[in-house]
Amino acid sequence: MAIILSLETSTKVCSVCLSNNSTILAKKELFEANSHATHLTVFIQDLFKSLPDLSIQDIDAVAVSSGPGSYTGLRIGVSVAKGICYALNKPLIAITSLECLAQAVINHPDLADKTKPDTLYCPMIDARRMEVYTALFDTKLKLVEKINAKIIDETSYQAILHHHHIVFLGDGAEKCKETIVHPNALFLDAQAPLASNMVLLAHRKFEESDFEDTAYFEPFYLKDFVATTPKKKVL
């Protein structure tokens, strides 16, 4: 038995999940931008309030989204995860946000009659303008194309699409529908990386003792942080 607390904060969605092996015990999700700082620790407390027979001391590990994604969201999620691991002397598990996204749809019912054994999955996280954080996975969640930042245009993925169906998903894919045009391109709407999607991946890593060095672990930002100027000035 392995009780794992999972945290996902790589996009605007703030989500937490408590699982026992591959079974979800409780979860909370909020699809609201800039909510991580105010809701993440509250959500964790709410999980244990909903399960009076468990306390946070009972967990065996903490799994956290390692990125890529929102700089601020990742910092908050990883900081909370590391704090819990330090306090309880528990191991830290890292799951990439793109792997988390792909895991959610590999057996998606909407794709049952549309995919083939060689179908590829392309999770995309919005990185402003026509740039996305992305990767390609096969049906066994093995990397076919490593995680990268890609600027999307009319030629993107065309060579691969001639030979494979590709399922595009995530908030980055939503803005690329009119740019990536091909009969083998499939788009899934309203998909986000969630803590509940991390359960199977986190349990597998726990069984393999695939843990991070809590002291030195940092999120995978992929790109340097770029500060923006508010559109409305107070003064």
- pLDDT the model gives residue 20: 97
In the chain, % of residues over pLDDT 70: 94
Which pLDDT band holds residue 184 (cuts at 50, 70, 90)?
A: very high
Both tokens of 105, joined, read 């749809």
Reported as a single tens digit per residue, the pLDDT across 45-66 is 999 999 999 999 999 999 999 9
Q: Is 179 left (phi over 0), alpha (psi -120 to 50) or beta?
A: alpha
- Look at the chain and count its residues: 235
Domain ranges across the chain: 3-97+193-207, 99-188
| Candidate from 104-113, 166-175, 199-208 with smallest mean pLDDT | 104-113
> What's the rounded mean pLDDT across residues 150-179?
95
The CB-based long-range contact list for 47-50 (8 Å cut-off, 24+ gap) reads 47/5, 47/16, 47/17, 47/18, 48/18, 50/26
CA 199 to chain centre: 11
**DSSP classification of residue 212:** B
**For residues 182 and 184, what is the distance between their CA atoms, to the nearest angstrom?**
5
18 closest CA partner among 186, 69, 52, 169: 52
Overall CATH class of domain 3-97+193-207: alpha beta
Outline where the chain has alpha helix (H): 36-49, 71-88, 97-105, 158-161, 171-174, 199-207
- pLDDT the model gives residue 232: 53
* CATH code for the part of the protein at 99-188: 3.30.420
